[in-house]
Each structure stands twice: as C-alpha cells, then as structure tokens.
Amino acid sequence: MSAEEFEPNIVAFLCNWCSYAGADLAGTSRTQYLPNVKIIRVMCSGRVNPLFLVNALQQGADGVLISGCHPGDCHYMEGNYYARRRYTLMHKLLEHVGVDPGRVNMSWVSASEGAKFKDVVEDTVTKAKEAGPMEQFRRRRINW
C-alpha cells in the first residue's frame, strides 16, 4: 500500500461539554473535515483511561486523539488538568517503546471552535499518514 492510498483510522475521544460540541459545530456549520476520525464521546477528558488509548492502537487505530476543554474551563473543574498530566506522560512512555509520537495527539477544543476542530483532525490525520499503518503491536487474528 503506498503512502498516498493509506487512509489512517483515527479514534477520537472527545469530551461531552467542549470538544464534542465543537465537532458538532463543525458539522452544523458545514465545515468539511476529514472522515478518518471515529468519534467516541466521553463525559470528560479526565475520564479517558490511558488503557483506552493503548487498546485502541492494539485493535486497529493508526492514531488516537484526545480532546477536552481548555485548561480552566473544565465542566468538572479539574478533569482536564488530570488528563493533561496523564497523557503527557503516556505520550512519553509510548514514544520510549517505539510508537511514533505522531500517533498520540491531544488538543483543547472549546464548543465554539468548530474551525479549530477541523484543523486538529487534519493535523492528526497528516501525522498518522506520515507514521504509516500501525503494525507494531496490532492484535492479529490467529490463523489456525
């Protein structure tokens, strides 16, 4: 498969209060954003267990995006601060294991930033395309 043909699978964990509304705004305002991204709505970016991310990479995602409210704007006051600590570290750990750093992405998108959501998705897809298909620890079906 050549680099041009490769369409990465992106799993996006969006927080209900900001980023999901931001993605919704991008939709209602007819902004075209790339269809590679599969959105999973969570109540807060702090709800995303780091193992979600590892399991997504294991089960077929080529890139992961976690998006939440801007620092200080969390609906639950501090959820995104915890998430920020976690994913900064998780990003470093995965990088150390040899996962391309472009596969793990995080962003702050508020409910009014439909245009920013489009940019974030484009950026994530570009990085995942550069990294190529995720083959390192993809779970393979056993062929008996």
Partner 1 sequence: MVDESKLREKAAEVLAREDVRRLIGWKRGTYGFEAAPCVIKDASEAEALIFDPTCVQNPASFITLEEKKPVPRGQEADTRKIAVMVKGCDSRAIVQQLVEKAYDRDHVIVLGIPCLGVIDRRKAAALFGDVASQVSAKVDAEKVAVDVGGDVKTVDRKDILMDKCLRCRYPNPLVYDELLADEVEKWAGDEFADVGEFEGQSPEEKWAFWEEQFSKCIRCYSCRNVCPMCYCVECVVTKLQPQWTRRATDISENTVYHIQRAWHLAGRCIECMECQRVCPVDIPIMTLNRKLTRDVKEMFEYEPGVDVEAQPLLASYNPQDPEDFIM
The residues that touch partner 1, with contacts defined as CB under 8 A, are 50-51, 54-55, 58, 71-72, 78, 81-82, 84-101, 105-108, 120, 123, 136-140
User: Which segments of the chain are extended strands (E)?
Assistant: 10-15, 37-42, 63-68, 104-108
What does the alpha-carbon distance between residue 83 and residue 49 come to, in Å, rounded to a whole number? 9
Q: Which among 128, 76, 75, 73 has a CA at the least distance from the CA of 102?
A: 128
Tell me how far apart the alpha carbons of residues 45 and 78 are, in angstroms, rounded to a whole number: 10
Euclidean distance between CA atoms 30 and 26, whole angstroms? 6
Q: DSSP code of 48?
A: -
**What minimum distance in Å lies between the beta carbon of 15 and partner 1?**
14
